[in-house]
Amino acid sequence: MSTSSTLPIAKAITAGLRDAMAADDRVLLMGEDIATLGGVFRVTDGLLAEFGAQRVVDTPLAEAGIVGTAVGLAVRGYRPVVEIQFDGFVFPAYNQITTQVAKMHNRTSGAVNLPMVIRIPHGGGIGAVEHHSESPEALFAHTAGLRILAPATAQDAYWMTRQAIESEDPVIMLEPKRRYWVKGDVDPDRRPALSPWQAQVVRPGTDATLLAWGPSMPLALESAQAAEADGLDLEVIDARSLSPVDVPTIADSVRRTGRLLIVHEAPVLGGLGGEIAARISEECFYHLEAPVLRVGGYHLPYPPARMEHAYLPDLDRVLDGVDRLLEH
Amino acid sequence: MVQLLAPHGTRTPHEQLDAVLEESGLAAPERLRGYYRDMVMIRAADLEATSLQRQGQLGLWASALGQEAAQIGAGHASRTQDYLVPTYREHGVAWARGIEPWRLLELFRGISHGGWDPNALRTHPYMIVLGSQAPHAVGYAMGLQRDGVVGTGDAETDTAVLALFGDGASSEGEVAESFTFAASFQAPVVFYTQNNQWAISVPTQVQSRVPLAQRSRGWGIPSVRVDGNDVLAVLGAVRTALDSARGGNGPVFVEAMTYRMAAHTTSDDASRYRPAAEEEEWAAKDPILRLRRHLEQLGEIDEQFTSRCDEEAHDLAMQLHHHIHGMEDPDPVRMFDHPYAEPHPIVDAERAQYLEYVAQFEDEDTEETTR
Ligand SMILES: Cc1ncc(C[n+]2csc(CCOP(=O)(O)OP(=O)(O)O)c2C)c(N)n1
């Protein structure tokens, strides 16, 4: 069993996987390059030596096969955790995820659970070539039957890994790849009081609420700090779970601050921010001092690396959003 | 495995392929010297690209070191009218198609997702999502059938498609579906796998229990396995396959056995999974050295020629350097240029919004400078 320590997010996930595998021998890992190499991000590094090739499986290069066989393993009573190498490579498995993974429990009237986890390195900002920087959360959140977690800290990375594996439902874990090497405190001995499906107010404030998740969290906090210099007191919420989205926690905050700005990397058009904005507009109509605003990607394919800085929300764009929010 | 040139350069006769090479003139001495030059050039460009990546000029580079014969051979086996559908490591094929190496760098530098006009050069863009280009190749071939440029007997106009993918990519469902379509419609397509033994850290045995060349046979697609470090074997086999497809005889699958001498990409550390002894074993089968020895045995190459090739290769590397430094970062507003072929109101609005946003800072800048 691991003990409390400071770990990079990637290693916190490794520790979560290791502890889950040690606790339950039905847990097994599958994916491309995850065994000998330890994964292209080294998240599964060392686990082959510890648990052997039956439980840490280098698969053929076939995402539909990886996810589809995980479905069969889960039906058989295993708890597979599969790694998709990069977000843009989940699409060959999209059919399996949306037509099978998401629907098996419902199709069997609850007779069959699919306790499986799909780990996906998520988001941009790493200067990569095409298909390595996608933010497909809305596509999966739109599909009933899936749960989606988006850890932003090492502590959440560890515990969400464990809780995702423990869940009787299929869970997609969106891992903030550009922050894999950012360290944080992890306490593997104390199970967090907060459910993984709940949002967390990570910075209290009174003038407006900033909502973000995963790779956008540090930006939200940085923006709140910068706004403080201008005499603004912003509340920051980490959504943590994207399906379900914890609307009550966000609505509570908005009732107090009267304003909401949602920040995410995915294109704003059709993004998850739009769904949250609609729900908050419904629930908090009489408390809102301004329309809910969103800052995110444009309605474009993710651009080549040397243009991504202009595509991704940055401090100035978030503060610009805050200004627009406060103009009302 | 079909081999015409042994590692020490001696030529083994092969009734069928020799006839094809003879008839096509593909093995004439000046052509052989040309392939040698091409391979030397492309290797130099490759090494230079690796060093440009190390210098921070490229975000990433996928080296094709060691695969020169497999690529130059396949590239030259195709005819001008053929359509080529590559993956992301086909630098030698691109070279044979007349795509200057600096165009390849645009993608790896991160200033564009492409770099050339596929229609003008009859070469599909590089593809990152493995296997996804294979059905495009078959569809293009189905288009050729509809256009009546298959099986007419006119070698100048009959056309085929060469679809390239790796041994790892051959596991993807889309490759299997491509086999299905190609076989069902007898499409004029040649599937060409460079089996470079590894898919990042995973050896070919994890992708397939049987030689890949056997796989397509279950679809009724004939196949052949060739020595991919032997430019003549590749030329002969791919030309034969393409001619057959062009002639209306349906798809063919060619597996070229070769080796990825460098790491998977500049972000990969091959020492974590690959034994050094294996690398040495394959270094002894170097495709460039092999052709050189063969030409020496024929008395068709001399010191003057090889050193001129080396000089040209050096110049090419310098040119790459030059081009990289001339590649300015695009104005990000260009990302709004091509998401759609026709006007789109939301993209237009977002472009306007972006320009307005950027203008705020420009105003600040000018205010500051005038102050
Ligand atoms: C659908 C998909 N899954 C995963 C990847 C990540 N990936 C890039 S290259 C590669 C290995 C490819 O091996 P192979 O097809 O043998 O070609 P090679 O790189 O050896 O030329 C992997 C797993 C990808 N690009 N696309």
Give the three-class secondary structure for B227.
Answer: strand
pLDDT of residue B366: 66
In this complex, which of A37, A92, A301 lies closest to B172 when CB atoms are compared?
A: A92
Fold for the domain defined by A200-327? Rossmann fold (3.40.50)
Per the DSSP assignment, residues forming a β-bridge with A186 are: A5
Are B313 and B364 found together in one domain? no
Nearest to B165 by CA among B254, B104, B229: B254
For residue B64, how far is its CA from the centre of ligand 1 (angstroms)? 14
Domains in chain B: how many in total? 2
Whether this model's ipTM surpasses 0.90 comes out as yes
For residue A82, how far is its CA from the centre of ligand 1 (angstroms)? 17
Fold match between domain A5-186 and domain A200-327: yes
Nearest to B228 by CA among B190, B202, B263, B255: B255
Are B45 and B96 found together in one domain? yes
DSSP string, B181-205: HHHHHT-SEEEEEEE-SEETTEEHH
Are B353 and B236 found together in one domain? no
CB A209 within 8 A of CB A47: no
**B113 part of the active site:** no
Q: What angle separates helix B231-246 from helix B68-77, to the nearest 10 degrees? A: 30
Which tokens hold the place of B89?
A: 């490591």
User: Is there a domain that residue B238 lies in?
Assistant: yes
pLDDT level of residue B362 (50, 70, 90 thresholds): confident
Which residues does chain B have within 8 Å of residue A63's beta carbon, measured at their own beta carbons? 172
Cβ distance B339 to A300 less than 8 Å, yes or no, reads yes
pLDDT of residue B371: 45
CATH number for the domain formed by residue range(s) A5-186: 3.40.50.970
Q: B134: how many CB neighbours lie within 10 A of its CB?
A: 28
CB B122 within 8 A of CB B99: no
Q: β-pairing, B189-195 with B161-166?
A: parallel
Are B150 and B67 found together in one domain? yes
Per the DSSP assignment, residues forming a β-bridge with B7 are: none
User: Is there a domain that residue B203 lies in?
Assistant: yes
Which residues does chain A have within 8 Å of residue B272's beta carbon, measured at their own beta carbons? 36-38
Taking the mean position of all CA atoms in its chain, how far away is CA A252?
22
Is A270 an interface residue toward B (CB < 8 Å)? no
Domain that holds residue B83: 15-326
Cβ distance A58 to B201 less than 8 Å, yes or no, reads yes
Phi and psi at B204, nearest 5°, equal -55, -30
Task: Say which DSSP state A33 is in.
Answer: T
Which residues does chain B have within 8 Å of residue A32's beta carbon, measured at their own beta carbons? 199-200, 202
Are B300 and B338 found together in one domain? no
User: Is there a domain that residue B2 lies in?
Assistant: no
Nearest to A119 by CA among A12, A276, A252, A236: A12
- C-beta of A89 in contact with ligand 1 (< 6 A): yes
To 10 degrees, the CA torsion angle through B14, B15, B16, B22?
90
Cite the beta strand spans of B156-313 per DSSP E: 161-166, 189-195, 198-199, 202-203, 223-227, 252-257
Please list, in sequence order, all residues whose beta carbon lies within 8 angstroms of the beta carbon of residue A214, skipping any fewer than 6 positions away: A122, A123, A150, A151, A152, A174, A175, A176
Are B246 and B294 found together in one domain? yes
Phi and psi at B322, nearest 5°, equal -60, -50
Instruction: Give the whole-angstrom CA distance, residue A57 versus residue A28.
Output: 8
CB A188 within 8 A of CB A1: yes
pLDDT tens digit string along B103-127? 999 999 999 999 999 999 999 999 9
**A299 part of the active site:** no
pLDDT tens digit string along B17-67? 999 999 999 999 999 999 999 999 999 999 999 999 999 999 999 999 999
- C-beta of B167 in contact with ligand 1 (< 6 A): yes
Cβ distance B129 to A91 less than 8 Å, yes or no, reads yes
Cβ distance B129 to A92 less than 8 Å, yes or no, reads yes
Is A131 an interface residue toward B (CB < 8 Å)? yes
Are B273 and B350 found together in one domain? no
For residue B51, how far is its CA from the centre of ligand 1 (angstroms)? 22
Are B276 and B339 found together in one domain? no
State the best of B53, B108, B130, B356 to mutate against chain A, taking most chain A CBs within 10 Å: B130
Which residues does chain A have within 8 Å of residue B171's beta carbon, measured at their own beta carbons? 60-62, 65
pLDDT level of residue B368 (50, 70, 90 thresholds): low
Structural domain boundaries in chain A: 5-186, 200-327
Instruction: Give the whole-angstrom CA distance, residue A181 versus residue A9.
Output: 6
Are B62 and B83 found together in one domain? yes
- C-beta of B166 in contact with ligand 1 (< 6 A): yes
Q: A291: how many CB neighbours lie within 10 A of its CB?
A: 13
Is A53 an interface residue toward B (CB < 8 Å)? no
Which tokens hold the place of B179?
A: 């086999």
pLDDT tens digit string along B342-352? 999 999 999 99
Are B267 and B342 found together in one domain? no
Instruction: Give the whole-angstrom CA distance, residue B300 versus residue B288.
Output: 15
Helical H runs in B25-128?
29-54, 68-77, 91-96, 101-109, 118-121
User: Is there a domain that residue B1 lies in?
Assistant: no
pLDDT tens digit string along B228-284? 999 999 999 999 999 999 999 999 999 999 999 999 999 999 999 999 999 999 999
Which residues does chain B have within 8 Å of residue A127's beta carbon, measured at their own beta carbons? 59, 110
| Catalytic choice (A122, A132, A142, A299) | A132
pLDDT of residue A96: 98
For residue B164, how far is its CA from the centre of ligand 1 (angstroms)? 13
Taking the mean position of all CA atoms in its chain, how far away is CA B58?
19
State the best of A85, A90, A300, A324 to mutate against chain B, taking most chain B CBs within 10 Å: A300
Are B291 and B242 found together in one domain? yes
Distance from CA of B313 to the nearest CA of A (A): 27
User: Is there a domain that residue B57 lies in?
Assistant: yes
Task: Say which DSSP state A184 is in.
Answer: E
Element (H, E) at A226: helix A217-229
Instruction: Give the whole-angstrom CA distance, residue B347 versus residue A141.
Output: 24
Instruction: Give the whole-angstrom CA distance, residue A136 versus residue A173.
Output: 12
Burial of B8 (0-12, 13-18, 19+ CB in 10 A): exposed
For residue A91, how far is its CA from the centre of ligand 1 (angstroms)? 14
For residue B182, the domain's CATH number is: 3.40.50.970
CB contact burial A13-47 (16+ within 10 A = b; e otherwise) = bbbbbbbbbeeeeebbbbbbbbbbbbbbbbbbbeb
Are B343 and B269 found together in one domain? no
In this complex, which of B172, B201, B329 lies closest to A37 when CB atoms are compared?
A: B201
Low-confidence winner among B146-150, B261-265, B324-328 (lowest mean pLDDT): B324-328
Which atom of ligand 1 is the closest one to the Cα of B62? Answer: 19
User: Is there a domain that residue B183 lies in?
Assistant: yes
**Vertex A31 angle, CA A7 and A21, to 5°:** 55
Instruction: Select from B292, B307, B326 the last residue of a domain.
Output: B326
Give the three-class secondary structure for A219.
Answer: helix
User: Is there a domain that residue B93 lies in?
Assistant: yes
Residues of chain A with pLDDT under 50: none
Element (H, E) at B84: strand B83-85
User: Is there a domain that residue B111 lies in?
Assistant: yes
What number of H helices and E strands is found in chain A?
Answer: 12, 14
In this complex, which of A58, A130, A300 lies closest to B202 when CB atoms are compared?
A: A58
